[in-house]
Amino acid sequence: MSPLESLEFDVAIVGAGGAGLRAAIAIAERDPSLTIALLSKVYPMRSHTVAAEGGSAGVVLPEDSLEHHFNDTVSGGDWLCDQDAVEYFVAHCTEEMVQLDHWGCPWSRRDDGRANVRAFGGMKIERTWFAADLTGFHILHTLFQTSIKYPTIHRFDEHFCCDLLVDGGRAAGVLAIEVATGDFRAIHARSVVIATGGAGRVFRQNTNGGIVTGDGMGLAYRRGVPLRDMEFVQYHPTCMPGSGLLFTEACRGEGGVLVNKDGYRYLQDYGLGPPDPWPRKKAMELGPRDRLSQAFWHEERKGRTVSTAHGAAVNLDLRHLGAAKLRARLPQICELAEKYLGIDPAHAPIPVRPAVHYTMGGIPTDVRAATPMPGLFAAGECASSGIHGANRLGSNSLSELCVFGKVAGEEAARFARENGHGDRGRVRAQAESGRDAASAPLRRLGSGERLAQLRDTMARAMEEGCGIYRTAAGIERTCSTLSQLRERIGEVALEDRSSGWNTQWLALLELGFQLEVAEAMAHSALARRESRGAHQRLDEGCTQRDDARFLKHTLAWHDGRDAPRVGWSDVVITRSPPGERIYGREVAHE
């Protein structure tokens, strides 16, 4: 039996990416008497925040306003946003960007020394702060290095959280595996923040790192917290065919264009035109991501895409930017294109296609980052904070990490001050049975089916059934496959039965989370019989937005070994009644 050590902290934070680090710092600053356990299955600087490139939104220009940022975000989200959360969000973005500057983030600058901002998809006015094309990298390293200042933050690096501990219906801690040894640690806490990122790895082609497996969503989901709006998965329009590696939206913000095999800027055929003048905000290549990905899907159907070794693609043309501007503003893009594709963007276009990038859905939170479970908070991509609705605008996510990371930290701190620990005996017993469940695969003989086989089957099924355009038949097939996989995972044999550094075992635990999260995505997609934002359906009666019946959030509830039950909850509408999403020509008349 693996050792199980019990430790006590005031707040436990799962995930040390941008949101988790920001939460930890917020608690340490607000109340240095509270002890914080910050757990991460990788060293913090490996968190996937590191891969974000383009920038982080915050209103600064005199011609801009919170009203504009609010409207861009709500319409970008196809009115599925909780507007109270959006109001709070836009009002606090800029202050967080300034805070990052004070902590050392190397924002790219104007000549007068102020932070520079650039145009980004779906945004009326430039408000995206950026640090070359390494914004996520710089934000993550800034937050991680700043967190080192605070002695009350106790890090548990390379600790895999396999269970959420709950007592009397409130969060009471987490159960974690020390990766290096396989030993278990029960972290008893008065409040818990989940900041574990998205779940894009359930799909085949994605921009995500290997760690983005929806663990935190799974932790809460299994303990009765519903997952909200899981059907909304963002396809980023410009990714490397095959690997799915990201070419930042900033390429288009700097003036890059997308052309099909005939050299034609095809986006003008999809309500995003006219093509000129260019660049132009909220038009053509600066339209929202869902529209651009959908346009690609149509172009592929029409046979107008380019063929590559890894499937269909279109061309991202950056040649007209010139080598000097490319090196200065988009150095990482140049490196990616050169090293992985042998292409110099100053001389040749880059083949790109949509790949899964971001999970709009997740653990539902209100404007105080509180989930439906008392004492449980969530921030970042794992949360459904309500600000992205049916489609996220680029550069709103990095800002979200800071704005709601801080809120989650402060609220978790407040809860910890006002509440004691859960019952230590009961929590310890729960941890013991959690340990037994997590360790079971190490002892099991199994049918010999390989983990990778199940994982690839899941990823393919999600790509087919929950792609850019969906049909009931397709989704149902995927639901059926996922249900079978959930059976089969119980029989997977591990070749590796050691306890220390057993990444095959951890991958199996991750697959368990992924299958359940994927099921929530697929069943929510089936339930939403309309098309909105990133969820588009081809079947009859579902091809349009239907506010009368579906201006609601989906909620997927875990139901043991059965498929999730899907329910609904209200969308918070304050200032902006549902309207039409206007891009392209009509923007000029706003």
The reply to whether 252 belongs to the active site is yes
Residue pair 391/293 in contact by the 8 Å Cβ criterion: no
x-or-dash string of contact with other proteins, 491-510, rule CB under 8 A: ---xxx-xxxxxxx------
Helix or strand (DSSP H, E) at 517 = helix 503-527
> Site size for other proteins, by CB under 8 A?
66
Q: Does 457 bind other proteins (CB under 8 A)?
A: no
Residue closer to other proteins by CB (options 329, 523) is 329
Per CB under 8 A, which of residues 216..275 are in contact with other proteins? Answer: 242-243, 245-246
Nearer to other proteins, 24 or 80 (CB): 24
| Candidate ranges 225-233, 291-299, 398-406, 448-456; the one touching other proteins (CB under 8 A) | 448-456
Q: H/E element holding 485?
A: helix 472-488
Q: How far is the CB of 494 from other proteins (least distance, A)?
A: 7
Q: What are phi and psi of 408, to 5 degrees?
A: -60, -45
Indicate the residue among 107 and 358 with the shorter CB distance to other proteins: 107
Q: Which long-range contacts (CB under 8 A, 24 or more apart) does 98-105 make?
A: 98/58, 99/402, 100/56, 100/139, 100/142, 100/143, 100/402, 103/142, 103/143, 103/146, 104/142, 104/145, 104/146, 105/131, 105/138, 105/139, 105/142
CB of 573 to other proteins, least distance (A): 31
**Binder of other proteins out of 209, 255, 271, 372 (CB under 8 A):** 209
Q: Closest distance between other proteins and the C-beta of residue 53, in Å? A: 9
26-50 as b/e: b if 16+ CB within 10 A: bbbeebeebbbbbbbbbebbbbbbb
CA distances 341 to 237, 300, 306, 327, 353, Å, are 18, 21, 15, 17, 14
- What are the backbone angles phi and psi of residue 299, rounded to the nearest 5°? -60, -40
Beta bridge partners of 167: 170
Q: Which stretch binds other proteins (CB under 8 A): 178-186, 216-224, 317-325, 353-361?
A: 178-186
Rg of the chain over all Cα atoms, to the nearest angstrom:
23
- Give dist(CA 227, CA 566) in Å, integer: 9
Q: Is 581 a catalytic residue?
A: no
User: By C-alpha distance, which of 276, 323, 269 is closest to 298?
Assistant: 269
Of 252, 357, 388, 528, catalytic: 252
Binders in 323-382 for other proteins, by CB under 8 A: 332, 335-336, 339-341
Contact status: 311 vs other proteins (CB under 8 A) = no
Question: Is residue 114 at the binding interface for other proteins, with CB under 8 A as the rule?
Answer: yes
**Active-site option among 118, 159, 236, 329:** 236
Query: Where along the sequence are the contacts to other proteins (CB under 8 A)?
Result: 42-43, 45-48, 50-51, 95, 97-99, 101-104, 106-109, 111-115, 132, 134, 137-138, 141, 145-146, 148-149, 157, 180-183, 209-211, 242-243, 245-246, 309, 332, 335-336, 339-341, 450-452, 494-496, 498-504
State the catalytic residues. 236, 252
